[in-house]
Amino acid sequence: MNYTFHLCRCDPRFEYPQAWYLELPPNDLELITKIHQCISRMHFFRSVNDPHLTPKNDDIIPLCSNPIVLSARWLEARINDSLAGRTFIINMCGGGFYLDDSAVVVKTVYKETLEWDAVVDDEIITIRRWDGAPHWYLSSNKNRIFDINKYVRIEDAKRIALVYVDKDSIEIKD
């Protein structure tokens, strides 16, 4: 199976940020189902690893959406798009937009594997901790939006940064 990826400008007014998006063409329910499995895992991962969901914060748990409901709503929306003949493009986190005249496509590539190219030229990722804060935050000089941008352990933040850049392009500020 061939997959179509588009490098798009997220905001047409600016050169950056840019991100890679996978094309979900109309009537490709097999691809939508495959992606939905990943989306479901992502929602479960988020709900289990949210640092706010601790025994001392039991009052916030009812406010959090159920990961099953979130992933089911994502699937329902994508199936409706597909059956309506609309082409939707998604980023690595499952978010996206319609591939229409408003989309600014910089480059298109076709691949036999379902792997996003996450690299943007000359990107520097900074890992920093705010004064007195327990979390490490990721930021990018190319305005990349990180799906989860804060980590309790610096090792976890470094591991995620290395997905996007090599170790020489990571700055750590404490």
The stretch 116-122 carries a mean pLDDT of 72
Task: Please give the residue that has the higher pLDDT: either 151 or 15.
Answer: 151
Reply yes or no on whether the pLDDT at 24 is more than 60.
yes
Q: Which residue matches tokens 């959090």?
A: 64
Q: Count the neighbouring beta carbons within 10 Å of the beta carbon of residue 118.
A: 14
What does the H/E/C string look like for the chain?
Answer: CCEEEEEEECCCCCCCCEEEEEEECCCCHHHHHHHHHHHHHHHHHHHHHCCCCCHHHHHHHHHCCCHHHHHHHHHHHHHHHHHCCCCEEECCCCCEEECCCCCEEEEEEEECCCCCCCCCCCCCEEEECCCCCCCEEEEECCCCCCCCCEECCHHHHHHHHHHHCCHHHEEEEC
| pLDDT band for position 170 (cuts 50, 70, 90) | very high
Task: List pLDDT tens digits, range 52-93.
Answer: 555 555 555 544 557 788 888 999 999 999 999 999 999 877
Reply yes or no on whether the pLDDT at 16 is more than 90.
no
Q: Which residue matches tokens 């309790």?
A: 152
d(CA 55, CA 74): 29
Task: Please give the residue that has the higher pLDDT: either 122 or 5.
Answer: 5
Task: Please give the residue that has the higher pLDDT: either 108 or 93.
Answer: 108
Reply yes or no on whether the pLDDT at 137 is more than 80.
yes
Answering whether pTM is above 0.75, one says: no
Q: Count the neighbouring beta carbons within 10 Å of the beta carbon of residue 114.
A: 13
d(CA 112, CA 47): 32
